[in-house]
Amino acid sequence: MVDYSIEWVVKQLDEFIELTKGRYKGSPEDMGVWWSVSGDSDSIKAQLPVVERIFDRFVPGWNNPPILYNLDEPTEQLWGRHRDLALRVKTFVEREQEIRCYLGDGAPNISASNLHPWVWSGAASLWQSGHFRSAVEDAAKKVNAETQNKLHRRDVSETRLFNEAFSEDPAVPGKPRLRRMSPDGSNTYRSMQRGARALAEGIYAGIRNPFNHESPHDIDEQVALEYLAALSILARWVDESELEEAA
C-alpha cells in the first residue's frame, strides 16, 4: 500500500514533462540552431518546486551534484535532465504496485516521514539530499534536545540524561523523572523504566558516539532508516511519559 496519491504525483510530473518538451529550431546555414521548449519560462519555474519535492521523495540525493545548465549555450537542452528524471519517476510511480508484486516479498515497509516528529524533523533536510549518516546524527541531537526541554535540563545529555530521566528513584530538585507508567513498584514498572534506559544507552553509545570517532564515511540508506526507527521508539517513549518533579 502506498502512502501518497499516485494520481496527483503523475499529474504534476505530466505537466512538467509537457512544459519541458523541446526540439531544436533554426538552421546552421541561417541564424544558427537553438533549443526550444514548449512551455513558457514562468510556467516551468512555477511547476519546478513541486516536481523537485517529488524527486526528493523518490530519488534521495538526485541533485548531488547539482544539475546545472549552460544558459549561454543556445543548443543546451534546457530542463532536459529534469525531464528525463521526471519520466523515470513517473514510470516508477505508475508501476510501483506491479514492481512490488514481482520484485518484492510482500513485507511491510516503513516510511521515514511517518516516524516520530522529533526524529523526522531532525533528519528530513539531510535525508532528502542523501546524507544519511548526518541525518541520523541530527535526529539523535533533536531527540536529546527535546528530552532536555521536557525535563528543563541542560546540565546533562545523551546517555546520562536518559539514565537519570528514567531512573526509578524519586524525583529530586533539579532531577525530574520520566515515568512510562504509574510508579507502583511492580516488576512491570521497573522493567519499562530499565528498558528505556537500555534503549537510550544502546542508541547513544552504540550509534551516536561511534560517529564521533569513525572516519566520516556515509552509511547505507537501509541502515540509516533502521537507526531512525530506533530513535523514533525512544522519542515516543519520552513524549508519552509522565513528568514527575520534586514536590
Per residue in 135-147, pLDDT (tens digit) is 999 999 999 999 9
- 87 and 33 share one domain: yes
In a domain, 173, yes or no: yes
Last residue of a domain, one of 103, 122, 145: 103
- 173 and 199 share one domain: yes
- For the segment 126-143, the average pLDDT, to the nearest whole number, is 95
- 179 and 225 share one domain: yes
Per residue in 212-245, pLDDT (tens digit) is 777 677 899 999 999 999 999 999 999 999 999 9
- 85 and 21 share one domain: yes
Residue 1 has pLDDT above 60, yes or no: no
- 118 and 238 share one domain: yes
Residue predicted with more confidence, 122 or 106: 122
- For the segment 98-106, the average pLDDT, to the nearest whole number, is 73
Domains: count for the chain: 2
Q: Assign 73 to helix, strand or coil.
A: coil
Distance between CA atoms of residues 43 and 224, nearest Å: 37
- 126 and 38 share one domain: no
In a domain, 1, yes or no: no
- 194 and 239 share one domain: yes
Q: Spell out the alpha helix ranges (H) of the chain.
A: 6-19, 41-58, 80-103, 117-128, 132-151, 158-165, 187-203, 209-213, 221-240
Please state, for a pLDDT cut of 70, what percent of the chain lies above it. Answer: 97
Residue 47 has pLDDT above 90, yes or no: yes
Residue 20 has pLDDT above 90, yes or no: yes
In a domain, 240, yes or no: yes
Last residue of a domain, one of 68, 103, 138: 103
In a domain, 171, yes or no: yes
Per residue in 155-211, pLDDT (tens digit) is 999 999 999 999 999 999 999 999 999 999 999 999 999 999 999 999 999 998 888
- In angstroms, the Cα distances linking 103 to 2, 100, 203, 222, 225 are 16, 5, 32, 17, 21
Residue 21 has pLDDT above 60, yes or no: yes
Q: Which three cell numbers stand for residue 178?
A: 520520566
Distance between CA atoms of residues 227 and 207, nearest Å: 8
- 150 and 239 share one domain: yes
Q: What pLDDT, on a 0 to 100 scale, did the predictor assign at position 127?
A: 94
- 164 and 48 share one domain: no
- b/e 189-213 (16+ beta carbons within 10 angstroms → b): beebbeebbebbeebbeebbeeeee
Residue span of the structural domain in which 134 resides:
112-244
- 17 and 138 share one domain: no
**What is the average pLDDT score of the chain?**
92
Residue 105 has pLDDT above 70, yes or no: no
CB atoms within 10 A of CB 171: 18
- 95 and 131 share one domain: no
Residue predicted with more confidence, 95 or 233: 233
Q: Which of 235, 227, 229 is nearest to 144 (CA)?
A: 235
- 234 and 124 share one domain: yes
Of 99-103, 128-132, 184-188, 225-229, the least confident: 99-103
Last residue of a domain, one of 43, 76, 103: 103
Residue 88 has pLDDT above 70, yes or no: yes
